[in-house]
Amino acid sequence: MTKCWFDCKTVIVTGASSGIGRLLSEKLIKDHGCNVIGIARTESKLAALKEELGRYSHKFCYYAFDVSDKNKWAELADTFEKENRQIDILINNAGILPKFDRFENYSLEEIDSAMEINFFSSVYSMKALMPNVLKSESAAIINVASSAALCSLAGTSVYSASKAALKSFTDAVREETRGRCYIGLICPGFTKTDIFRSQKKSSSKAQKAMDMVSTSCDRMVRLIINSMWKKKKDSVFGIDAHLMDTGCRLIGPYCSGISSKVMKISGLEIFRDIFAE
C-alpha cells in the first residue's frame, strides 16, 4: 500500500464496537498500521474486536463509555495528558437512528438522547481533546454526519436536526482551525449496518427497496478512508445521499416534499405510521 499521511498515526474512533466504526478501526490498523483507541458503550463487543484482530490486537485498545457523558471525555483527556499520549486523529462516528416516526410521537427523553449522542458527543470530545490533537503534525478530526444533514425527510425530524447541527458545527470549526487541523465531514446515505435495529421489521419488498439504494459497509468504509486520504472537506456517499444532496441544491425544500411523497406512495411499513391519517 502506498504511503499516506495517516499511516501509523494514533486514531480515536467512536462507535468502534459495530458497523462503520468497527470496520474503519480494522482497516486503519491492518492497512495503515494505525494505533486505534476505540470507544463505545458495549465492552464485550470492543473486547471481541480486540480478540479478532489477532496479531494486530496490540494496536487496538478501548474505553467503554457513553460518548454523551462529557465528564468521561474530560477524564480521558486527563489520562492522555498524564501518559503524555499524542492523539493525531479523532473520528466522531458513534451515533443512533431513532425509529422513523412523527415528531409528536417522540418523547422529550428520546429527543434529548438523539441530540446528545449524535451532536453534543462530538462537541464534548472536541472540547476535551482538541488541545491534544492540535499538537500533532497530522492533526485531523473527522465527523460522521449523514445525508439527513443535507435534506430532512418526514419521520427523521430529530435525527436530521442532530446531524445538521453536527454539520454546521463542523463547518465553523473547520474555518477556525484552518492550517492547524484537517477537519472532514462525512455524509453517508443508507449503509448496511445494524443501525436500523430499532426500526419496524421490513417485509421482503421493503428490504429489497432498501437494499437497492444502500451501500455496503465495506464500500462505505473504503470511501471514507479515501476521503481522509485526499483530505476532502465534505464527502457525500451513496446513491440516495447524492440524490438528496443534488435535489436540495437544485430545488431546496421541495426536495423534502418530493422525497416524502415517494416514501408515502411506496406504502412500505417502516414509513406507514408517519403518514397515517
Ligand X SMILES: NC(=O)c1ccc[n+]([C@@H]2O[C@H](COP(=O)([O-])OP(=O)(O)OC[C@H]3O[C@@H](n4cnc5c(N)ncnc54)[C@H](OP(=O)(O)O)[C@@H]3O)[C@@H](O)[C@H]2O)c1
98 binds ligand X (CB under 6 A): no
Residues in region 199-258 near ligand X by CB under 6 A: none
Question: Which cell is 236 given?
Answer: 457525500
Question: Which cell is 113 given?
Answer: 438522547
Residue 59 or 163 having the CB closest to ligand X: 163
C-alpha span between 154 and 100 (Å, rounded): 8
C-alpha span between 172 and 21 (Å, rounded): 24
Shortest separation between residue 227's beta carbon and ligand X, angstroms: 14
Check the CA dihedral 250-251-252-256 and report its sign: negative
Shortest separation between residue 110's beta carbon and ligand X, angstroms: 13
Q: Which residues contact 88 (CB under 8 A, 6 or more apart)?
A: 6, 9, 10, 11, 133, 136, 138, 139, 140
Q: Which one of residues 96, 111, 209, 210 is an interface residue with ligand X (CB under 6 A)? A: 96
Q: Which one of residues 11, 12, 13, 17 is an interface residue with ligand X (CB under 6 A)? A: 17
111 binds ligand X (CB under 6 A): no
C-alpha span between 227 and 234 (Å, rounded): 8
Whether the CB-CB separation of 104 and 53 falls below 8 Å is answered with no
Shortest separation between residue 93's beta carbon and ligand X, angstroms: 5
C-alpha span between 152 and 161 (Å, rounded): 8
CB-count burial class (<10 Å; 0-12, 13-18, 19+) for 68: buried
Catalytic: which of 62, 124, 159, 182? 159
Q: Which one of residues 25, 93, 152, 160 is an interface residue with ligand X (CB under 6 A)? A: 93
Q: How far is CA 257 from CA 151, 160, 247, 263, 264, in A?
A: 10, 15, 11, 10, 11
Shortest separation between residue 20's beta carbon and ligand X, angstroms: 4
Where does this chain touch ligand X (CB under 6 A) — which range of 168-176, 193-201, 248-256, 262-270? Answer: 193-201
Whether the CB-CB separation of 150 and 241 falls below 8 Å is answered with yes
* Residues in contact with ligand X, shown as a per-residue x/- string from 18 to 47 under the rule CB under 6 A: xxxx------------------xxx--x--
Residues in region 48-87 near ligand X by CB under 6 A: 66-68
Where does this chain touch ligand X (CB under 6 A) — which range of 12-20, 71-79, 134-142, 265-273? Answer: 12-20
Q: Which one of residues 11, 12, 13, 15 is an interface residue with ligand X (CB under 6 A)? A: 15
95 binds ligand X (CB under 6 A): yes
Q: Which one of residues 104, 175, 194, 277 is an interface residue with ligand X (CB under 6 A)? A: 194
Residue 48 or 134 having the CB closest to ligand X: 48
Shortest separation between residue 143's beta carbon and ligand X, angstroms: 9
C-alpha span between 41 and 72 (Å, rounded): 12
Q: What angle do CA 252, 193, 231 make, to 5 degrees?
A: 60
Whether the CB-CB separation of 98 and 146 falls below 8 Å is answered with no
User: Is 159 noted as a catalytic residue in this protein?
Assistant: yes
Residues in region 127-186 near ligand X by CB under 6 A: 144, 146
Task: Report the run of H or E that residue 39 belongs to, with start and end.
Answer: strand 35-40
Q: Which residues are catalytic?
A: 159
Binding site for ligand X (CB under 6 A): 14-21, 40-42, 45, 66-68, 93-97, 117, 144, 146, 188, 190-191, 193-195
